[in-house]
């Protein structure tokens, strides 16, 4: 009795899908991620979908393909549940093989080009390439950190520790350790507001430029305050006179004629004084 074909995906096929999916559903513009954390545990958030149905009678089934070919990487995409049901549902005619293959080519294009560039590299050769790149990074950042240490020694120290891990990945391993990541995170949070802080410092510096002049003004004001008691009496007397003048203004229509006459007399007196002096 022949065994019924079963769905089977090699580890390499699953790894290729997860890598080339670039983190999400193959449906154009879908934002559902490949992995989702639930209670701190990673869960696969997408489903493996067949471009050509695995079983006879399924959507887009191709009888010329073997079970192995139907399970192969070339015939698979990753879809979120709603989009998987859509392409295999009542409206499946809208999604022929050509459409799904187009989605696959578009999503995987960048990753496939990168993989093609690796050719037949051995693990040792790949290690050498990564080490060289990380070494160049350290060489470029090192001098900048020395300058930065003059103004922010603690942050520079943290970043230098991370640089040591990157200096030779063949010794420390590829990537950055958890401690290194934590240090980078702390530095990044500090740097986040660096531009705003610099602006505030610049404004403060501008203000301090005039500190000496400001001090002189404050000193003059302090001297004036010493005689505040005497000035208070003068101000009180002036206020009293002003009040009386205001009371007189209540009868302004009657006083207008008197003020006009007084003004004329004052003008004549001023002219007389001018002739007398000259």
Angle between helices 228-249 and 211-226 (to 10 degrees): 70
**Tokens representing residue 55 in the block:** 């079983």
Q: Identify the pLDDT of residue 113.
A: 66
Average pLDDT value for residue range 47-69: 94
Higher local confidence (pLDDT), 79 or 146: 79
Average pLDDT value for residue range 167-186: 52
Percent of the chain with pLDDT over 70: 43
Higher local confidence (pLDDT), 271 or 145: 145
pTM over 0.75: no
Average pLDDT value for residue range 209-237: 49
Strand partners, 42: 37
Higher local confidence (pLDDT), 137 or 9: 9
First-to-last C-alpha distance (Å) of the chain: 142
Higher local confidence (pLDDT), 95 or 168: 95
Q: Among the listed ranges 107-116, 140-149, 252-261, which one has the minimum average pLDDT value?
A: 252-261
Query: pLDDT confidence of 7, banded at 50, 70, 90?
Result: confident
Higher local confidence (pLDDT), 20 or 235: 20
Average pLDDT value for residue range 252-267: 50
Rg (CA), the chain: 43
Query: pLDDT confidence of 101, banded at 50, 70, 90?
Result: very high
- For the chain, the average pLDDT equals 70
């Amino acid at each position: 009795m022949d065994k019924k074909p079963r769905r089977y995906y090699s580890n390499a096929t699953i790894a290729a899908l997860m890598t080339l999916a670039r983190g999400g559903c193959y449906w154009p513009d879908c934002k559902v991620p490949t992995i989702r954390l639930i209670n701190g545990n990673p869960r696969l958030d997408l489903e493996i979908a067949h471009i050509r149905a695995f079983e006879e009678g399924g959507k887009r089934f191709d009888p010329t393909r073997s079970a192995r070919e139907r399970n192969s990487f070339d015939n698979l995409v990753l879809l979120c549940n709603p989009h998987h049901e859509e392409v295999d549902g009542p409206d499946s005619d809208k999604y022929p093989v050509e459409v799904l293959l187009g989605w696959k080519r578009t999503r995987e294009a960048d990753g496939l080009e990168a993989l093609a560039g690796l050719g037949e590299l051995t693990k040792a050769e790949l290690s050498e390439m990564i080490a060289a790149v990380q070494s160049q990074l350290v060489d470029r950042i090192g001098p900048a950190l020395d300058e930065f240490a003059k103004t922010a020694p603690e942050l520079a120290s943290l970043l230098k520790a991370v640089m040591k891990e990157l200096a030779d990945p063949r010794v420390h391993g590829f990537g950055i350790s958890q401690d290194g990541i934590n240090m980078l995170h702390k530095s990044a949070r500090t740097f986040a507001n660096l531009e705003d802080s610099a602006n505030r410092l610049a404004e403060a510096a501008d203000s301090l430029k005039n500190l000496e002049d400001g001090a002189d003004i404050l000193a003059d004001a302090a001297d004036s305050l010493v005689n505040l008691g005497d000035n208070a009496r003068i101000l009180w007397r002036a206020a009293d006179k002003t009040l009386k003048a205001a009371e007189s203004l209540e009868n302004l229509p009657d006083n207008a004629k008197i003020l006009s006459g007084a003004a004329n007399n004052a003008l004549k007196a001023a002219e007389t004084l001018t002739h007398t002096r000259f």
